[in-house]
Amino acid sequence: MQPSDLSAVDLVNAVRQGDLTAVRCTEAYLDRIAALDGSINAFLSVDREGSLRTAASIDERRKAGKPIGPLAGLPVAVKDALCTTDQPTTCASKMLAGFRPPYDAEVVARLRAADAVIVGKTNMDEFAMGGSNENSAFGPVHNPWDLARTPGGSSGGSAAAVAADMAPVAIGSDTGGSIRQPAGLCGITGLKPTYGRVSRRGLVAFASSLDQIGPMARSAADCALILSSIAGHDPGDATSLDAPVPSYTADLERPLEGVRIGRVAAHFGAGVDPEVAHAVEEAFAAFRAAGAIIKEIDLPHADAGVATYYLVAPCEASSNLARYDGAHYGHRAEPGKTSGGFESALVEMYCRSRAEGFGPEVKRRIMLGTYALSAGYYDAYYAKALRVRRLIRQDYLDAFAEVDLIGGPVSATAAFKLGEKTGDPLSMYLVDLYTVGTNLAGVGGISFPCGFTKSGLPIGFQLQGPALAEQLLLRAADRYQHLTDWHLRRPAIAAQRC
């Protein structure tokens, strides 16, 4: 049996019991990356030496009878938006090409403390802005199920790495669906925890009030394993929640008897691919069969979600990305190429560094946000968006008074072709239709496969839960995965022996 055939839970147990060394496990995954990633482009950097060194030290400690962490020997791929001291952190931007942070993100530190092995940093949409991974300055990621298609985004590299068995688990970040949507399009499981459940310290900020880090893996059980190590209060993140962390793995097997799952009729309106609608309805039926109660609910302001999101997120982004000005670190334009017309050498340096360092989508969002925050426009755009955001949050509060979870599709279609939407930013933004509400409301959501299209592309199902309901989200997904085997299917490329 290959390490890549084992779940993360099994891998960790095998290492703990001495059936598998951390080195062998890490090496197996590194080999798969070396063999497969040339055609997928999921990784921006791979730390072969460093990860093998870490793995060897874990094996030594285990052999010496010393304590090892709960993730000992588990290879983890980390989205390149999280700071790592031993590997570059680029956010897939030319602006940060080669940037080496002097500190580890809190999540990275917690993974290391749990003895996980960080094998590499995954590709993404530049600064997490995008839903197809085509906005990476280092080339798009290819969907392992069909290399001509997008893996989704922005955590597309993390999703593709797990889907192609190049890593048993990965870390993603989700601002408007960036974990759940690529998980859905790549046929894996991805959890966006409640805002504040996982520390954002060291996550390169896109939109601070929406960003949240979460696990991506083959199953809900594997996500639960990772979340147990990364969740919890961080005094270094003022927005982190100071709430106890329950055991996410212990509660998984409790049956779903009596759990109320809301179904929103509007999720099945125009624009939803019939194959997606069918698979999602089947999933509802499976939940019903498992004892859950399906209840029709309404999220009255859901149709304003994308518009609200595309004001709040760019406004925050325009400010968060102001620090990339060439003055202190990152890309700086070479001096002296000016044609004149700039106010001063300083302004010229700013303008040219940013013009060269940022890609078109990042620039578009900075401009949108700058515009919406400007004097005379603030009330009409940003302030109004905040008011609508409150209404959306209230929708969720009202809904969760009636149901325990809300089910539905992750995205309206399965993976689309690379290049299909790049000429039409608006249609690309609509990819986030079903996922942005979770972030605007600050609650949690999980996405997992619930079927395949006739052409063999995975279809995702999304469950959203109230604040701090990660236990229930993971349990519901895990129960579903005990009734179905969609999550066990692997793309042909992953079946290659390496």
Partner 1 sequence: MLIPHRPEPSPPLAILPTFVCPPERLSESVPDTASAPVTTTATTVPYTTVIGLEVHVQLQTQTKLFCGCSTKFGAPPNTQVCPTCLGLPGSLPVMNRKAFELAVRSALALDCRIASFTKWDRKNYFYPDLPKGYQISQFDLPFSSDGTLEVVDPKGAWSRKVGIIRVHLEEDAGKSMHDEASGVADTRIDLNRAGTPLCEIVTQPDLRSPQEARAWLNELKLLLVYLGVSDCNMQEGSLRVDANVNLHIPVDGGPDAGGRIAKTPIVEIKNMNSFRSVERALAYEAIRQYEEWQATKAEMGKTPKQTRGWDDPAGVTRAQRHKEESSDYRYFPEPDLVPVTVSDEWLAAARQAMGPPPAVLRQTLATTWKISSYDADVLVNQGGDLVAYFEELAGKVGEGKVASNWMQQDVLRTLNERGGTIGEFPVRPAALADLIGRVAKGDFDTSRAREIFAEVLASGRPIDDVVASMGIAAVDDDELVALCRALLAENPKVVADVKGGKEQAAAGLIGQAKKKNPNVNPGKVRAMCLDLIRQM
Binding site for partner 1 (CB under 8 A): 81-83, 89, 91, 96, 99, 101-103, 105, 200-205, 207-209, 235-239, 315-316, 318-319, 321-323, 325, 327-329, 345-346, 350, 370, 373-375, 378, 382
For the CB of residue 319, give the shortest distance to partner 1 in the complex, in Å.
Answer: 5
Cα 193 to Cα 229: distance, rounded to the nearest angstrom:
13
Tell me which residue has tokens 């079946």: 495
Q: DSSP for 116-169?
A: -EEEEEE--SGGG--SSSTT-TT-PPPBTTBTTB---SSSHHHHHHHHTTS-SE
Are 58 and 73 contacting, i.e. CB atoms less than 8 angstroms apart?
A: yes
Cα 380 to Cα 371: distance, rounded to the nearest angstrom:
11
For the CB of residue 404, give the shortest distance to partner 1 in the complex, in Å.
Answer: 28
Catalytic residue from among 132, 136, 158, 178: 178
For the CB of residue 194, give the shortest distance to partner 1 in the complex, in Å.
Answer: 15
Strand residues in 40-109 grouped as ranges (E)? 43-46, 75-79
For the CB of residue 198, give the shortest distance to partner 1 in the complex, in Å.
Answer: 13
Q: Which two tokens stand for residue 302?
A: 């859901």
For the CB of residue 272, give the shortest distance to partner 1 in the complex, in Å.
Answer: 32
Tell me which residue has tokens 């979870």: 405
For the CB of residue 197, give the shortest distance to partner 1 in the complex, in Å.
Answer: 15
Using the 8-state DSSP alphabet, how is residue 446 labeled?
Answer: E
Cα 128 to Cα 376: distance, rounded to the nearest angstrom:
29
Tell me which residue has tokens 């798009």: 140
Nearer to partner 1, 133 or 318 (CB): 318
Axis crossing angle, helix 384-402 with helix 305-320, rounded to the nearest 10:
130
* Cα-based distances in Å from 402 to 258, 314, 397, 472: 13, 33, 9, 16
Nearer to partner 1, 239 or 484 (CB): 239
Nearer to partner 1, 66 or 328 (CB): 328
* Cα-based distances in Å from 299 to 37, 150, 274, 396: 41, 29, 22, 7
Cα 215 to Cα 67: distance, rounded to the nearest angstrom:
24
Catalytic residue from among 4, 51, 93, 154: 154
Judging by DSSP bridges, how do beta strands 43-46 and 260-264 pair with one another? Answer: unpaired
For the CB of residue 103, give the shortest distance to partner 1 in the complex, in Å.
Answer: 5
Catalytic residue from among 4, 51, 79, 173: 79
Does residue 192 carry a catalytic annotation? Answer: no
Nearer to partner 1, 332 or 482 (CB): 332
Are 450 and 461 contacting, i.e. CB atoms less than 8 angstroms apart?
A: yes
Rg (CA), the chain: 22
Using the 8-state DSSP alphabet, how is residue 418 labeled?
Answer: T
Q: Is the peptide bond before 154 cis (omega within 30 degrees of 0)?
A: yes
Q: Taken in order 371, 377, 383, 387, is the CA torsion positive or negative? A: negative
For the CB of residue 120, give the shortest distance to partner 1 in the complex, in Å.
Answer: 18
Nearer to partner 1, 158 or 189 (CB): 158
Does residue 79 carry a catalytic annotation? Answer: yes
For the CB of residue 83, give the shortest distance to partner 1 in the complex, in Å.
Answer: 5
Does residue 337 carry a catalytic annotation? Answer: no
Nearer to partner 1, 17 or 344 (CB): 344
Nearer to partner 1, 137 or 405 (CB): 137
Q: Report which of 211, 145, 229, 221 is spatially closest to residue 182, judged by C-alpha positions.
A: 145
Nearer to partner 1, 59 or 348 (CB): 348
Cα 70 to Cα 226: distance, rounded to the nearest angstrom:
9
Q: Report which of 166, 219, 160, 210 is spatially closest to residue 185, judged by C-alpha positions.
A: 160
* Cα-based distances in Å from 248 to 67, 195, 211, 222: 22, 17, 21, 10
Nearer to partner 1, 250 or 380 (CB): 380
Residues with catalytic annotation? 79, 154, 178
